[in-house]
Amino acid sequence: MDNKYSPELLAHLFRQMTLVREFELRAIEERRRGLIPGFIHSCVGQEATAVASCAALTQEDVITSTHRGHGHLLGKGGDPKFMMAELAGRSSGYCLGRGGSLHIADFDSGILGANGIVGGGFPIAAGAALAFQMRQEARVALTFFGDGAINEGTFHEAANLAGLWRLPLIFFCENNLYGEGTPQHKQAPIADLARRADSYGFPGVIVDGNDVTAVYEATQTARSRALAGEGPTLIEAKTYRFRGHYEGDPQIYREPGELEAWQARDPVPAFRAELLASGLFEEAELADMEAAVQAQLDEAVAFAAAAPIPAAEEALQGIYAETHEGLVF
C-alpha cells in the first residue's frame, strides 16, 4: 500500500465500501421479507467505483445517479436510515416514500437524484456544472452512468456542450459489461468507451474499477482539471456486477466462468487484505468497522419498518412546484 494515502482516508474507503456491500445485501433480504416493494438493482461488485469516486469529491460537489445508485448515494454521504425508509416506501424516507430505490434525491448531500431514465442524469449534471461555472463557484458535478447509457443521445448532447464550454463536469462510466442482458460488445462497436471523449475535445481515461485507490486518483485528477477551468473528463471504470440486472433476473446471458473470474477480484475483500498487509490496520480494527456497519443497518431497517406508508390524501403533494426556493442547490 502506497503510504501517500492517510490512514483516515483508507479507513473511510473501507468503511464505506463495507457499508455499500452490506446495505445491498440487507436491502435484498428485506425485499424478500416483504419490507421493500418493487425493483432493486444492486451494485454488489461495484463498490469501489461508487465509494472511491465520491471520496474524491467534497460535500459541495454534486452527483447524478442511476437506477443502480445505492452505492453512489451512500458514497456521497446519504444516510442509510433515510435510504432504507425510501426503499420501503415509507414517509420517513428521503423523498417521503414517493420515489423508492430509483428516485432518491438529497440536495443537502449534493445528490441531485438517482434516475430511472437511462441517460437521464447527463443534462441535469451539465446544467449544474454550467451553474457553477457561471457563478464562479469552486464546485464540480459528477454524473454516474453505465456502458448502456453512453449510447443514449443525452450523453452526446451533454458531452458536446460540456467539452465546448469546458464545464466542471466529470462523466463517470461504470462499464460493467452489460446493459440489462445485452453484452457490451453487442451494444457498441468499440470496447474502450473512454475513446468517445476524444470526439468532444476532452480526455477519456480508463481505470480498473475494482481498484479503489486507482478510482480515487482518477477522480481527483478529473476534479482538479475541472476546477482549473480545463473542462470535463470521461472516466471509464471497468468493473462487473455480481448479481442480476435486477433481483430476480435469471441471468442466462453470462459467459461460463465469467462471474467466478470477477468474483476472484471482489473489491471489498481485496481491499481488506491490502489494508491488513500494509500493517496500518489490525484485524480487530477492521472487524470493529464491519460490526459498526451491521449495527447501523439494523438501525436503518428498524427505522424504515417503524415509519408509516404515506397517506393516500398526500399523493399529490410535492408534485407541482409552488416556488423555486426548493430548487436552489
Ligand X SMILES: Cc1ncc(C[n+]2csc(CCOP(=O)(O)OP(=O)(O)O)c2C)c(N)n1
Indicate left, alpha or beta for 167 from its phi (over 0: left) and psi (-120 to 50: alpha): beta
Single residue of 49, 92, 143, 176 touching ligand X by CB under 6 A: 176
Amino acid at the residue 86: E
Scanning 64-72, 109-117, 168-176, 309-317 for contacts with Mg ion by CB under 5 A, the matching segment is 168-176
Under the binding rule (CB under 6 A), the answer on residue 191 touching ligand X is no
Beta carbon of residue 322, minimum distance to ligand X (angstroms, whole number)? 29
Q: Does 178 bind ligand X (CB under 6 A)?
A: yes
Among 100, 179, 244, 267, binds ligand X (CB under 6 A): 179
Answer yes or no whether residue 31 interacts with ligand X by CB under 6 A. no
Q: Which residue is nearest to Mg ion (CB)?
A: 146
Single out the residue of 42, 65, 154, 176 in contact with Mg ion (rule: CB under 5 A): 176
Which parts of 120-159 interact with ligand X (CB under 6 A)? Answer: 145-149
Q: Is the dihedral of CA 189, 193, 195, 197 positive or negative?
A: positive
By a kind-dependent CB cut-off of 5 to 8 A, residue 143 interacts, out of Mg ion, ligand X, none, with: none
Q: How many residues of this chain interact with ligand X, rule: CB under 6 A?
A: 16
DSSP assignment of 101-167: TT---BGGGTB----SSTTTHHHHHHHHHHHHHHTT-S--EEEEEETTGGGSHHHHHHHHHHHHHT-
Q: Name the one range near ligand X by CB under 6 A: 30-38, 110-118, 158-166, 208-216.
A: 110-118
- CA 2 distance to own-chain centroid: 25
Task: Give Cβ neighbours of residue 317 (< 8 Å, ≥ 6 apart).
Answer: none
Q: Which residues contact 195 (CB under 8 A, 6 or more apart)?
A: 204
DSSP 173: E
Question: Is residue 246 classed as helix, strand or coil in its secondary structure?
Answer: coil
Q: Which of 146, 168, 204, 232 binds Mg ion (CB under 5 A)?
A: 146
Task: Give contact residues for ligand X (rule: CB under 6 A).
Answer: 67-68, 116-119, 145-149, 176, 178-180, 245
Task: Give contact residues for Mg ion (rule: CB under 5 A).
Answer: 146-147, 176, 178-179
